[in-house]
Amino acid sequence: MDINPKNQPVDRVDGRQKVTGSAKYFAEFALPRTAYCVIVGSTIARGTLDQLDTKRAAAAPGVLGVFTHLNMPAIPGWDAPVGGQADGPPPQPTAETYRILRGTKILFDGQPIAMVVADTFERATYAASLVKATYTRQTPKTDLNKHLAAAIAPSIPWMKDYSRGQAEAYKTAPVVLEADYVVPTEVHNPMEMHGILAQWTSPTSLLLYAKTQGVNATQRAMAQAFKLDPRNVKVHTEFMGGGFGMGLRTWPQETAVVAIARQLGRPVKLVMTRSQMFQLVGYRPHTRQTIRMGADATGKLVGLVHEATAETATYEDFTEGTVNMSKFLYACPSMQTRYRLVRLDRGVPIWMRGPGEATGAFALESAMDEMAHKLHLDPLEFRLRNYSETDPEHNRPYSSKNLREAYERGAAAIGWRNRPATPGSQREGEWLVGYGMSTGTFNAMRWQATVRVVLQADGSLLVQSAVTDIGPGTGTALTIIAHNVLGVPLDRIKVQYGDTSLPPAPTQGGSAIVSTVGSAVFDTCSAVKQTLVELATRPGAPLAGHQAEELALADGQLFVEAKLATQVAVAELLRQNQLASIDKTTESKGGPEQQKYSFYSYSVHFVRVRVNPRTGVVRVTKTVSVADSGRIISPKTAASQMIGGVAGGIGMALTEEAVLDHRFGRYVNNNLADYHVAVHADVPEIETITIDKPDYLLNPMGAKGMGEIALIGFAAAVANAVFNATGRRVRELPITLDKLLAVS
Amino acid sequence: MRDESQPLPEPGQPDPSRRAFLKHSSALAALALTPPVALTAIDHSLDERLAAAFEQLPLQVRINGQAQQLSVEPRVTLLDLLREQLGLTGTKKGCDHGQCGACTVHVDGQRVNACLTLALTTEGREVTTIEGLGSEDKLHCMQEAFLRHDGFQCGYCTPGQIMSAVACVREGHADTPEQVREYMSGNICRCGAYANIVAAILDVKASGQKV
């Protein structure tokens, strides 16, 4: 029996809790005597805190404490790792140090200068308004464009300059493109505000309801910060109201709340404000990129240079894979990449969905479109002429790559043949019409995880992992994997997740969770099956004499595949052996084949836009996104991931930009009315296609990740479609109407 | 309304204290209910804490069909009342500024942002939250449709989307995909489940079920 059939769509296993409001997010756990914490942020971006008047705040009704640099309780292990990962190392400390409520130095706008705790939310909020500060203000440096000369090469080996072939070979090509591309600061803005609910359950043990993408990472960070045995730090995040990367690390204000909860001897809850979500929990860094590309008359790439310069904080170097995909996506013999950082008076960035690859793909895939235009080639044809059959970066084969098929199916679905060859030549009424496409790619990874599986005598199955499900449908995918291996009906499987009392799992990020935790579920369920087979086939047992390979499981029955009538109920088998359950826990990770191949997921995005030539308004009217991400485990939630990437991509392409007033180093649109994420009216008909071909080199399910590729490249597809519609090339996101005025 | 005989502080001479507010706001029911001895104490700046004790006001409201007799501060929003005092955490806080729709509930059948609604303004009204719409065992048809169409991912905006969706259908604004998109645009979904949400709403509308 094929244990990895094409899977059927099933409803999300936690769907009933989500549609009825019974799913509990971190701020919704009721602990007796919970106190409320409100952060007072600095109103300057650089300088020194001179005076801090907390007297009125401290005297306000219900106030339990006003914590500042003068009275903040000690945190013994301040240098705790920040934890988590997406596709690279976490932010690295610099010579500058940021310690929340330690000292008077202000390093970024909104830096906490006081944390006010009271017995109700309203009282804490009011008291926080009474805290008054005076500062010595220095002129903040927050404008990447003005400080490019201060760019530094990050010390992390992962980010070192890359070169193959001839240096700057692009210059020798007959057709050359040099262009700069800009992605502005973007903010994750999940719907749930960040924060934490912390309770010391004894002087040496801690209970945390957190908004984290990895309960184990938060557990490690807090154990180290407070010098605790990690086993005494319990972290719970079963439901998380969106992360998109911001929950990939533990933030200083979370640690501060834990310290304050200890001092006050009662649970303390912090729920940040929306404006603080812009200041204190990271963002996608403003990044300038230059692409230099040369191609010959046959449309073959001769040379490529991809350079990126991104903002970071003064106190931590945040890096991401902005230039990575240029190294391997196309078969280009000579190529160089360079990645630089500019340290500014800003809070530190953090990976945001797609992360650096989404930023990089905007540049690379816009440039591919521009070069195709110079070459008078269809941009899809240009990509096919430079298709890489093997990985040119590592000189090794891809584990699997069905990108060609993805191109073909996407082109057919959008009606690519209707794309006007000449930009600005197709109209619908007063609207100009254009088509664009792009490619996305992201590492397909498999890390390490442990899973416990318990098959009960009543035929039900329990699966346990500490992994968090931030929304992609991890719990649903794990349920399907267990069902595929053990044949237990879906409604008899319970997956428990999001708690450190469960077997350890990596942080949810980097599109690696189904591959990693799913494999652990697969392996552990396989061990349970092995035990069942042994029980069923030993002498005197119901299926005695049959070999393991002959047997299969379905609907709670173990049967001989060739003779369906020869079967035994799993429950009966356990009963006969006087077993209450079969209980297995195994650790699982990838093998040596991970070094022999290059593993990537791919996406192709096609979009059709209408541009109003008089107003510059852009409307995305139809999108087709194709995912080549191995076997699709959960088709329904996978499709949702894809449409979510499209919605995020429309925002990235057309509206999202966190605008700073550089005189003050402060955001001017730090709320959801002024920072425009895509809303219902922005999102058109979306078609998603999955290639659904398994890649067994990565893991036994053949599944690759898709959370990142759903977004990566999308913004370039829109920019390319806008060019096709108008002849106007916009190289700086978002593509707002001011950049398109007078296009006809 | 304020008592004209008690002039407010001149501009440039802020007097934003609670004492001043209590003294000057004759329209506030709090004043009428505050014992003179307490007012004297307030006048003598004895203690902010004393003032606080008299700031709770009675509120009678029906929530999910149940009559509630509550005592709340005038500054408490309906959203914080539901979440922090009544344990009805299905209604979500996404921005606290009426910009995201995560806190959408029904007041007398109309969809409102609970974060922009002071709790006391619901006196004598009927409030319906997601908990009052259906239960895990007995889903409302809109909840069923969201589940079937996977109209969510992280689930955080979902109660607000569903409350808004029910109102959208009741209002007669669910006839076409374009109309649904327009009338649901006050409810943001950062996971981007919009296409599925629209499908769910149109499905419910087409089925003719009573919402």
What was the pLDDT predicted at A564?
74
Q: Does B190 contact A191 at a Cβ distance shorter than 8 Å?
A: yes
What was the pLDDT predicted at A29?
98
What was the pLDDT predicted at A414?
98
Nearest chain A residue to B199 by CA distance is A685
- Residues of B with Cβ-Cβ distance to A240 under 8 angstroms: 154
Encoding tokens for residue A73? 């309780």
Q: A666 by DSSP, 3-state: which?
A: strand
Q: How far is CA A103 from CA A51, A71, A262, A469, A701, in A?
A: 12, 11, 21, 37, 52
What was the pLDDT predicted at B46?
56
Q: Does B191 contact A120 at a Cβ distance shorter than 8 Å?
A: no
- Euclidean distance between CA atoms A743 and A610, whole angstroms: 13
Count CB pairs under 8 A between chains A and B. Answer: 199
Q: Which helix (H) or strand (E) holds A135?
A: strand A132-137
B6 has a pLDDT exceeding 50: no
> φ and ψ at A652, to 5 degrees?
-60, -40
- Residues of B with Cβ-Cβ distance to A27 under 8 angstroms: 83, 89, 93
A404–B contact, CB cutoff 8 A? no
Q: Does B193 contact A644 at a Cβ distance shorter than 8 Å?
A: yes
B55/A720: higher pLDDT: A720
Amino acid identity for residue A416 in this structure: W
What was the pLDDT predicted at B20?
52
A492–B contact, CB cutoff 8 A? no
Burial class (CB in 10 A: 0-12, 13-18, 19+), B53: exposed
**Chain A nearest C-alpha distance from B125 (Å):** 22
Tens of pLDDT, residues B101-123: 999 999 999 999 999 999 999 99
Tens of pLDDT, residues A378-416: 999 999 999 999 999 999 999 999 999 999 999 999 999
Q: Does B94 contact A191 at a Cβ distance shorter than 8 Å?
A: yes
B7 has a pLDDT exceeding 50: no
Estimate the share of chain B in helix, then strand, then coil, as percent rounded to the nearest 5: 40, 15, 45
Contact assessment for residue A413 and residue A687, using Cβ atoms and an 8 Å cutoff: yes
Q: Which residue has the tokens 């369906």?
A: A564
The full set of domains in chain B, from first to last, is: 1-54 (no CATH), 57-132 (3.10.20.30), 141-207 (1.10.150.120)
What was the pLDDT predicted at A502?
98
- Render A441-454 in DSSP notation, one character per residue: EEE-----EEEEEE
- Euclidean distance between CA atoms A682 and A652, whole angstroms: 12
What was the pLDDT predicted at A713?
98
Q: Does B94 contact A639 at a Cβ distance shorter than 8 Å?
A: no
Nearest chain A residue to B86 by CA distance is A30
Helix axis angle, B194-207 to A635-654, nearest 10°: 120
**Chain A (611-650) residues lying within 8 Å, Cβ to Cβ, of chain B:** 636-637, 639-641, 643-648
The full set of domains in chain A, from first to last, is: 31-139+190-279 (3.90.1170.50), 287-445+595-740 (3.30.365.10), 447-589 (3.30.365.10)
Q: Which helix (H) or strand (E) holds A717?
A: helix A714-726
Cite the active site residues of A. 708
Strands B66-72 and A660-661: unpaired
Give B55's pLDDT tier (boundaries 50, 70, 90).
confident
Amino acid identity for residue B32 in this structure: A
- Euclidean distance between CA atoms B197 and B209, whole angstroms: 17
- Render A339-385 in DSSP notation, one character per residue: EEEEEESSPPP---SSHHHHHHHHHHHHHHHHHHHHTT--HHHHHHH
Mutation target vs A (from B78, B92, B136, B150; most A CBs, 10 A cutoff) = B150
Nearest chain A residue to B101 by CA distance is A191
- Residues of A with Cβ-Cβ distance to B185 under 8 angstroms: 679-681
- Residues of A with Cβ-Cβ distance to B135 under 8 angstroms: 20
Report the complex ipTM: 0.96
Percentage of residues in chain B with pLDDT exceeding 90? 74
First to last CA, chain A: 61
Mutation target vs A (from B154, B163, B178, B182; most A CBs, 10 A cutoff) = B154
Q: How far is CA A644 from CA A210, B60, B189, in A?
A: 24, 42, 9
B87 has a pLDDT exceeding 70: yes
| Strand order across the A551-554 sheet | A551-554, A557-560, A563-569
Amino acid identity for residue A221 in this structure: A
Tell me which residue in A189, A641, A643 faces B195 most closely, judged by beta carbons: A643
Cβ neighbours of residue A157 closer than 8 Å, sequence gap 6 or more: none
Q: A706 by DSSP, 3-state: which?
A: coil
Cβ neighbours of residue A643 closer than 8 Å, sequence gap 6 or more: A625, A686, A688, B192, B193, B194, B195, B196
Q: How far is CA A311 from CA A42, A319, A480, A509, A733, in A?
A: 21, 9, 42, 22, 16
B78–A contact, CB cutoff 8 A? no
Residues of chain A with pLDDT under 50: 1-2
